[in-house]
Structure 1
Amino acid sequence: MPTARKRARTYDPVKIRKAVEAQLGHVRAAVRTLTPEQLALPTRLGEWTVRELVAHIGMAVTAVHRSLERPAPPRQDATLLDWPFVTSASSAAIDDFTRGVAERHPDLDAHLGDVERTLTELLDTHPGSRLLETNVGALPLADYLVTRTVELVVHTDDLNAAVPGLDIPYDRQALAACTRLLADALAVKAPGGSTEVRVPPYAVVQCVEGPRHTRGTPPNVVETDPLTWLRLATGRLTWQEAIAEAKVSASGERADLGGLLPLMA
Structure 2
Amino acid sequence: MVDPIRAAFRAECARLTGALTGLDDADLDRPTDCPPWTVRELIAHVRTGTGRLTDMLAAPAPPHPEVDAAEYFGAAKFTPEVDAERIAGGRRDARQLDPAALPTDLDRTWRAADAAVAAAPPERVVRTRHGDAMRLTEFLRTRVLEVGVHGLDLAAALDRPPWLTAQAATVIVDLLTGGRPAPAELRWDRLTLIRKTTGRVALTGPERAAVNAAGFRWLAFGS
* TM-score, reference length from structure 2: 0.83
What stretches of structure 1 of length at least 5 have no aligned partner?
1-11, 185-201, 207-216, 244-248
Cα distance, 1:203–1:170 mapped onto 2, change above 3 Å: farther
Shift of 1:113: 2.2
Cα distance, 1:263–1:139 mapped onto 2, change above 3 Å: closer
1:88 paired with 2:83, answer no
Moved more, 139-148 or 101-110: 101-110
Q: Which residue of 1 aligns with 2:199?
A: 235
CA distance, structure 2, for counterparts of residue 45 and residue 250 of structure 1: 23
1:137 paired with 2:127, answer no
RMSD (CA atoms): 2.8
CA distance, structure 2, for counterparts of residue 13 and residue 146 of structure 1: 14
The SS at the match of 2:167 is helix
Equivalent residues in 2 for 1:123-162, closer than 5 Å:
123-134=117-128, 135=130, 137-162=132-157
Q: Which amino acid aligns with 1:139?
A: M
The SS at the match of 2:110 is helix
CA distance, structure 2, for counterparts of residue 171 and residue 123 of structure 1: 20
| Structure 1 residues 203-227: Cα deviation after superposition (integer angstroms, max 9, x where no partner) | 5068xxxxxxxxxx9xxx4442222
CA distance, structure 1, for counterparts of residue 87 and residue 145 of structure 2: 18
What number of residue pairs does the alignment pair up? Answer: 213
Aligned with 1:181 (options 167, 175, 179): 175
Cα distance, 1:22–1:149 mapped onto 2, change above 3 Å: same
Q: Which residue of 1 aligns with 2:219?
A: 263
Moved more, 73-82 or 28-37: 73-82
Cα distance, 1:233–1:250 mapped onto 2, change above 3 Å: closer
Q: Which residue of 2 aligns with 1:9?
A: none
Q: Which amino acid aligns with 1:175?
A: A
Moved more, 23-32 or 135-144: 135-144
Structure 1 contact 85–264 (Cα < 8 Å) conserved: yes
Decide which structure has greater helix share.
Answer: 2
Q: Which residue of 1 aligns with 2:93?
A: 101
CA distance, structure 1, for counterparts of residue 176 and residue 153 of structure 2: 17
CA distance, structure 2, for counterparts of residue 16 and residue 261 of structure 1: 19
CA distance, structure 2, for counterparts of residue 84 and residue 72 of structure 1: 21
Equivalent residues in 2 for 1:15-94, closer than 5 Å:
15-86=4-75, 88-89=78-79, 90-94=82-86
Moved more, 14-23 or 95-104: 95-104
The SS at the match of 1:139 is strand
Higher RCO (C-alpha under 8 Å, 6+ residues apart): 2
CA distance, structure 2, for counterparts of residue 50 and residue 109 of structure 1: 13
- Between the aligned residues of both structures, percent identity stands at 26
